[in-house]
Amino acid sequence: MLMMYVITVFSALMFHTVVTMPGLYFLTTRRNPLAVMKGILQAVVTAFGTGS
């Protein structure tokens, strides 16, 4: 039962990250959301790497 909950939450978070947020960014700015995600990737890698 717990595993189904974990899978459901993870799926919802991935959907939000991959579909909802880039879609809202595109609708409000009409710019390519992939370019922004590429720019944010370095900060995310640094944050996970340093644990902060």
Tell me the pLDDT of the chain (52 aa) as tens digits: 999 999 999 999 999 999 999 999 999 999 999 999 999 999 999 999 998 6
Q: How far apart are CA 52 and CA 41, in angstroms?
A: 15
Burial state string for 5-29 with b = 16 or more CB within 10 A and e = fewer than 16 = eeeeeeeeeeeeeeeeeeeeeeeee
| pTM score | 0.73
Token pair 């799926």 in the structure block, residue? 11
